[in-house]
Each structure stands twice: as C-alpha cells, then as structure tokens.
Amino acid sequence: MTDLKGLKAVVTGGASGIGLATARLLAERGADAAVLDLRPEPLPEPLCGHRADVADDASVRAAVEAAAEDLGGIDVLINNAGIGAVGTVEDNDDDEWRRLWEVNVLGIVRVSRAALPHLRRAAAVHPGGAAIVNTCSIAATAGLPQRAAYSASKGAVLSLTLAMAADHVAEGIRVNCVTPGTVDTPWVGRLLDRAADPEAERAALNARQPTGRLVTAGEVAAAIAYLASPAAGAVTGTALAVDGGMHGL
C-alpha cells in the first residue's frame, strides 16, 4: 500500500469511472483530493468538486485556483478527463477530430499549465514529491480498429507525457502515464448500450483482453496512485500498462 498522507491531489474527470475510483483511492490512502469535472456533483465524502471544462482555458484556470485554495496547494495532478469517438478516418469529420484534440490533448496542456506553479512550489518543499499522471490508453500503440481519432489523440498523450517528463525533471516534478486496456466504467456501459447485441459486444470486449476480462477502474486507480506516490520517486517519463496483457508495441 502506498501511503499518500498529506498529499494534495487534483483529479480531472474525477466524477466517474477511472477518475472517481482514483480520487476515492487517493483519499483512502490519506491524500486530500479535489475533482475537476464537467459535472462534479454528487461526489462521495470527503471529495470536493469543482466544475471545469478542460476544453475551456478560463474555466480550467478558475477551477485549478479554486482547488488549490481548497486544498492549500497541489502536489499531484491526475489528468484523466477524456472522451471517445468510434470510427475510421472516413467516418469522423474534422470537427470530431478537433473535439478529441481539444479535450484529450489540449485538456492536459491547459490543466498542467495552470497547475505547474503549484506543483513547482510543492517540489521545492518535497523534492521529487510533485507528480503528474496522465490517463493515456493502450489505443496509443495497439492499432485498434474503428478508433482512428481516439487512438491519434492518445498517441499524442503518450508523446506529451515523455516530453513533459523531460521538461520538468530538473524541477523535481515527475510526469508519467497509465495505458489501460478496456476498463469497465460508465464509458464502456454507454458503448454497450448502443450496440445491437450488448451481451455479444461485452463478450467480444472480454475476449480482446488476454486475461479474458475487462480491467476494473480500481486496478487502474491503483497504478495511478503508485505513480503519484513517493514510492515512485525515481519513476518519470514512463507508461505503465494496465491492460490485461493486451500490449501495443
């Protein structure tokens, strides 16, 4: 168990799925956690929520400052908010590609930019104790069918993670990402609801994982909590796969 006592953490997209499981786990392990989300309510105790659209810079800056004030600083940033799109390059129009870029890639850029002054202050007090963890996806490297725009956006998240790790290592800020396989969250629930045969679709998703089952949100949260913790003090610029064996490259 990684002890996170006293850490101040911000989790984007923390009102559902992987983000909610992560915010809860960080709090269980002793961190003070704030959630930034389009729809931050209702949240279980002791999480506090701030409304933010990561595609909107003014809303991000206001929410990050409000969270920093609530928590008394920011040591850890979990950039988890993300959206999906199904389709090939012929299926998704330019607006859909731009929307994925705005949320999945520029969302991380905006929130990180707003949080970095706080992370720098945290790193000055606890060298190596400040951390960013991005939620990437196995789609970044696996070559999944029907996920062209989504995969490209997550490929950018992987590259961005490596570049940010290099930029901020000397400041004592670690930057890593997790690359989950298919995770049983409301996101997958929505995909199944739209399928002609949801049971058959779930069986196909299970079969795609070498472990024969979907990853749980708690399993991804545990990996994120590790990367955010002092136990990972020597870990930066890495992608931790939590994908049931479905490795990409």
Determine the interface stretch with ligand NAI among 8-16, 88-96, 141-149, 230-238 (rule: CB under 6 A): 8-16
The least CB distance from residue 198 to ligand NAI, in Å, is 15
Give bridge partners of residue 79 from the DSSP assignment.
134
From the list 27, 115, 164, 188, which residue makes contact with ligand NAI (rule: CB under 6 A)? Answer: 188
CB atoms within 10 A of CB 217: 23
CA distance 182 to 226: 20
Q: How far is CA 11 from CA 18, 26, 64, 151, 248, in A?
A: 10, 10, 10, 22, 26
From the list 112, 137, 141, 151, which residue makes contact with ligand NAI (rule: CB under 6 A)? Answer: 137
Q: How many residues bind ligand NAI (CB under 6 A)?
A: 28
Q: Rounded to 5 degrees, what angle do the CA atoms 220, 224, 227 make?
A: 140
Q: Is 226 a catalytic site residue?
A: no
- By CB under 6 A, residue 17 contacts ligand NAI: yes
- By CB under 6 A, residue 205 contacts ligand NAI: no
From the list 23, 31, 81, 222, which residue makes contact with ligand NAI (rule: CB under 6 A)? Answer: 81
Q: How far is CA 66 from CA 31, 70, 95, 169, 190, in A?
A: 17, 6, 31, 26, 31
Q: Which residues bind ligand NAI (CB under 6 A)?
A: 12-13, 15-19, 37-39, 52-55, 80-83, 103, 135, 137, 180, 182-183, 185-188
